[in-house]
Structure 1
Amino acid sequence: MTYSSYRVKVPGKLMIAGEYAVLEPNQPAVVLAVDRYVSAYIEPDNQNELSLPQLGLKTITWETCDEQVQFSSSDSRLRFIQNSILVVNQWLQENSIAIRPFRLTIKSELDDPVTGQKYGLGSSAAVVVAVISAMLSLYGDEEKAPALDHIFKLSAIAHLRTQTNGSGADIAAAVYGGWLGYTSYKPDWVLKNIEQGEKLTTLLEKQWPLLSIRPLVAPSLLQLAVGWTKEAVSTGPMIKRVQDYRICHEEGYSEFLKDSSRSVIGIINSFESNDCSSAISFLKQNRAALMNLGESAGLPIETAKLKALCTFAEEYGSGKSSGAGGGDCGIAFLKEEAHIRELLEAWKAADISPLKVNISKKGVSVTEYNCEPSLKEWPACLHQEQIRETWNHKENISV
């Protein structure tokens, strides 16, 4: 028997500049999609079944009851997937599309394969985009790929329903790929529309206030290096502490926003003018803005390892933490490719692991296969490159 199946591939992200500030209205950020991926495999089945083998979660089933998705496991790590399925189900019902059971398997390259520690490459956003894209592909028109804007907005809604905040920059990188200049939508506006009963179909067609996503091209001479501190951090508590500082220190927070905006706009302008030296300089200024915020708020944005990462980077160019800080990854901008090896060796000596990542020019992509046997009968395929040889490639759809 032949089974229709889709593989969805979604890149991770690196926040380049504008962290924390991008959560505020009209505050720009630069984000990059990288070639570490979350992949989702989906096919019709007799019952709803989910597998995340890298998390030790296999054969998770679910039922849809009273417009809620009830998993057979209460594992909190499933909340993003749960809300992603819920959002797509609502969209399907609005469009009079029958909901049918399916099997979904997810694997990720965004964590360390040995320890399982996350790198800080936006795993939750990538998983949400992968699940939503997979479901839209399975239920959608075979001749027409899902619209990127729709994938982005449905993913943003699912993410908001899960944690009620976030800028959406990591979602944008996962959906559109490449270098992006990004300004966030207003989460309160989105949530208010949903609470007032706005149909998702209508919300997808609306212009979201303040949202701006624009592709960028890095200066031709710019070199990017990425280092992993091996120190994991939870973003939520870091954001909460910054929000507390914002409430109690309005003047200091306002100054941080001004400094962040100047430096990020400087990076964007340097990209548009192909000015590598200015990009390096403005990245250094963005680091300074974050360091001042951390010092004022008593927040460890730069750990000892991140400080070492940046100090070594500044011998050749500039460096800064990526994302919330407090661990995870840092980045460096360099002008000379010859200096990269020297920088990476200095990082290794400081117990900082260089990450081999490159730009992912494409965002989410969907490949349709005819699969025999089914995913359910062939789970081992998902962990091996031979999956490409086992499956008869029918069509590649770039979305």
Structure 2
Amino acid sequence: MHEIKVPGKLFIAGEYAVLEPGYPAIVVAVDRFITAQITKSEQQILSLPQLGLPNVACRFEGGQVIFEEEDTRLDFIKNTIAVVHQYLQERSIETKPFSLTITSELDDADSGRKYGLGSSAAVVVAVVSSILTLYRDFLPVSKTLIFKLAAIAHYQTQGSGSCADVAASTYGGWLHYTAFKASWLKERLKENGSITPLVEEEWPHLQIEPLEAPEELVLAVGWTGSSAKTASLIKKIEPLKQKNSTIYGDFLRKSRDAVSTMVEGFKQSDMELMMASLSANRLALLELSEETGGAIETIHLEKLIAIANCYGAGKSSGAGGGDCGIAFTSTDKLERLHKQWQDAGIVPLDILPATKYN
């Protein structure tokens, strides 16, 4: 049996703008994991015990993955298995049945509360990584290959997104990320249908650069008690892009400048620069929110950030509208920050950057 652990993620800076090709973000992998256990077996079985799906039989039929149980929660896994299977077939590798069990630490184990740590992306990466592990004797497996196969599967299922969360779950650590051109990927898949040449070529605009965090940097994470609906928030931005390209263009420029400044802060180990750029990105997102009525910052996120700013700098993480907020602070201030968050009804999460995992 092989066991693969894949981390979740948190967005640090560059949200929304990263959906545009060429605009950067910073994302970090966190030490909450999806675990995949895979072994060769007589019959292909998928087990998701936390979803009440302990033994789902599946088979390949006419190039499609068929699950014996219909459940929309299986869509990401179904498409991922199909993508990896197609890739292996294109490489003339004979595939064998496997038993795959997936468990998650990304949501709260007791209540099932979602923290917004990128579970769908982490599951896709875990499925790709675990299946490829069975065929390491027949093909070289790299992080680039895992990312591209996972990105194809994730995009085919969701139809949108930057895949920054896929990158974080694949590479780990802190990443300076620029998304590929989604329309290019869609067109290439449509015109070709073959996956192998696609994973072997350069993807337009894609950049994945590891960053080294300063030793004194402490990333604090607080949960607001509500989940965000990312898709609905993104939809509110679409009319602004169409009707007022000047305002949207200003947002993109401010987001890019804030992220670029933060990258310099990382590279120079300049905490003040990193905190200032975190606040600058927050202001850009607030302006976007005001123009769209998207409510990126809820009342709880506003409280979280106001407290964080007393001990460093704070910001929403990801789409906003709920889920988690973050703070850049220092070790000597962390306990007081957590205490004030608790007093304000914010739940401090015991989450750290995940720099190493298997």
**Normalising to structure 2: TM-score of the pair?**
0.97
Query: In the alignment, what sits opposite 2:21?
Result: 25
1:145 is displaced (CA, Å) by 6.0
C-alpha RMSD over aligned residues? 1.2
Partners of 1:137 and 1:145 within 8 A in 2: no
AA matched with 2:351: V
Deviations 1:79-114 (A, max 9, x none): 100010000110011011122211110000000112
Matched with 2:30 is: 34
Residue in 1 that maps onto 2:304: 309
Partner of residue 67, structure 1: 63
Measure, in 1, the Cα distance between the counterparts of 2:221 and 2:41: 41
Distance 1:67 1:171 in 2: 25
In structure 2, what is the equivalent of residue 120 of structure 1?
A: 116
Q: Shift of residue 219 of structure 1? A: 2.5
Give 1:135 deviation, angstroms: 0.5
Q: Which residue of 1 aligns with 2:251?
A: 256
Aligned to 2:9: 13
The residue number in structure 2 matching 1:173 is 168
Please give the alpha-carbon distance, in whole angstroms, between the structure 2 residues aligned to 1:24 and 1:249: 16
1:370 matched residue in structure 2: none
How far apart in 2 are the matches of 1:32 and 1:83? 25
1:232 aligns with 2:234: no
**SS of structure 1 residue aligned to 2:354:** coil
Q: Provide the rounded CA distance (Å) in 1 between the counterparts of 2:193 and 2:67.
A: 26
> Is 2:333 aligned against 1:339?
yes
The one-letter amino acid paired with 1:14 is L
Residues in 1 aligned to 2:129 and 2:298: alpha-carbon distance in whole angstroms: 36
Equivalent residue number for residue 346 of structure 2: 352
Corresponding residue of 2:40: 44
After TM superposition, list the pairs within 5 Å mapping 1:58-207 onto structure 2: 58-141=54-137, 146-207=141-202
Contact 1:69–1:85 at 8 Å: present in 2 too?
yes
1:320 counterpart SS class? strand
1:247 to 239, 242, 245: 242
Structure 2 counterpart of 1:381 = none
**Once the two structures are superposed, what CA deviation does each residue of 1:247-287 show, in whole Å capped at 9, x if it has no partner?**
22212111111111111111001111110011011100111
Structure 2: state its 5+ residue gaps. none
Aligned length, in residue pairs: 358
Does 2:50 align with 1:54?
A: yes
Q: Given residue 300 of structure 1, which amino acid in structure 2 is its aligned partner? A: A
1:377 is aligned to none
CA contact (8 A) 1:176 1:362 kept: no
Counterparts of 1:234 and 1:158, CA distance in 2: 21
Which one is further off, 238-247 or 48-57?
A: 238-247
User: Does the 8 Å CA contact 1:220/1:276 hold for their aligned counterparts?
Assistant: no
Q: How far off its partner does 1:362 sit?
A: 2.6
Q: Structure 2 CA distance, aligned partners of 1:124 and 1:362?
A: 20
Give, in whole Å, the separation in 1 of the partners of 2:288 and 2:280. 13
- Deviation, 1:220, is 2.9
Distance, in Å, in 1 between the alignment partners of 2:298 and 2:103 is: 30
Q: Which of 272, 276, 297 does residue 277 from structure 1 map onto?
A: 272
Q: Which range moved further: 345-354 or 192-201?
A: 192-201
Q: Which residue identity does 1:69 align to in structure 2?
A: V
TM superposition shift of 1:71: 1.0
User: How far off is 1:236 after superposition?
Assistant: 1.6
Shift of 1:329: 0.5
Deviates more, 1:198-207 or 1:301-310: 198-207
Q: Hey, what's the Cα distance between the residues in 2 that align with 1:223 and 1:321?
A: 16
* In 2: Cα distance, 1:165 partner to 1:159 partner: 9
Residues 304-329 of structure 1 show CA distances to partners (whole Å, capped at 9, x for unaligned) of 11110000001111100100001111
Asked if 2 retains the 8 angstrom alpha-carbon contact of 1:40 and 1:134, the reply is: yes
Distance 2:212 2:134 in 1: 33
CA distance in 2, matches of 1:311, 1:13: 23
SS at structure 1 position matched to 2:134: helix
Alpha-carbon deviations, 1:112-132, whole Å to 9, x = none?
112112111110000000001
- Classify the secondary structure of the residue corresponding to 2:204: coil
Separation (CA, whole Å) in 2 of partners of 1:130 and 1:30? 22
Question: How far did residue 244 of structure 1 move?
Answer: 2.8
Distance 2:255 2:143 in 1: 29
> Quick one: distance in 2 between partners of 1:275 and 1:341?
22
Worse-superposed segment, 242-251 or 91-100:
242-251
Letter in 1 for 2:151: A
